[in-house]
Copies of this chain bind each other. A is one copy, B any other.
Amino acid sequence: MEKNSEDFIYHKLKNAIIKGYIKQGTKLVETALAKQMEVSRTPIRGAIRRLTYEGFAIYEANKGACVIKPTLEEIQETFFVRQQLEKTAARLATENISPEQISKLETYCSEEIRTFEDRDLDEYYRINDAIHLLIAHASGNKVMARYIEELLNRTKIYLILYDPFQTMRFNPSIDEHQNLLDALKARDPAAAEKSMDIHLESAYKGMDIQVLPEDYISL
């Protein structure tokens, strides 16, 4: 449910970037988007600004915004930061996670298996995100959860930008999620931290990172 025009535009643009409908590095020209979306420049500017803050675009004063073109270095660095915070969250979660949250995690894990068998990629990613966010919140640290959410979103762009065919060929993280769940149930901080670390390592390694040709168009 969109609050207003700007919010609507924001979601539309974000989706277009994530799905690859707008190519990396493309300039986001306000007037063109305004005409296309049949609104004025005002909500377009707001949406672009928001995308900029969230790392989907870069902005240069008096020049405008472009869709990000993440470098391999930037991707590695972002994954590393995410890994640091999620490891800590997993450790803290062993102390704070509630029985309700644990049972919710269990349902997520079984849903995840189903979505993988059905090759329902969108749904698979959605559940994967839900698992990570649940653990982030179970840490009890709301500020950290917010940062993890932001980092999760950014790494999601990378995943899709650099795995454009989304083959779902990788060995999914189902076993790893199960290990994590076991560690949380056992309330074993070291094991939880380790599981999360390994999991994010393999998520990163599973990405088929390669610099795409300049004129590559995913759709």
Interface pick from A10-18, A80-88, A99-107: A80-88
A61 contacts the other chain (CB 8 A): yes
Which among B77, B88, B143 is the interface contact of A74 at CB below 8 angstroms? B143
A81: chain B residues at CB < 8 Å are 85, 141, 143-144, 147
- From DSSP, what is the main secondary structure of chain A's interface residues? helix
- Which residues of chain B are within 8 angstroms of A49 by Cβ–Cβ distance? 46, 49
**Residue A142 at the chain B interface, CB threshold 8 Å:** yes
Interface size on A (CB < 8 Å)?
Answer: 23
Please tell me if A205 contacts chain B, counting CB pairs below 8 Å.
no
Protomer copies: 2
Q: Which residue of B lies closest to A80 (CB)?
A: B141
**A171 proximal to B (CB < 8 A):** no
Question: A4 to B74, Cβ gap below 8 A?
Answer: no
Query: In this complex, what residue of B is CB-closest to A145?
Result: B77
Q: What are 10 A-B pairs at a CB distance below 8 A?
A: A3-B61, A4-B62, A50-B53, A53-B53, A73-B142, A74-B143, A80-B141, A81-B147, A84-B88, A85-B85
A4-B62, A7-B61, A77-B144 known, 12 other contacts, Cβ within 8 Å: A3-B62, A4-B61, A46-B49, A49-B49, A53-B53, A74-B143, A77-B142, A77-B143, A78-B143, A80-B143, A81-B143, A85-B85
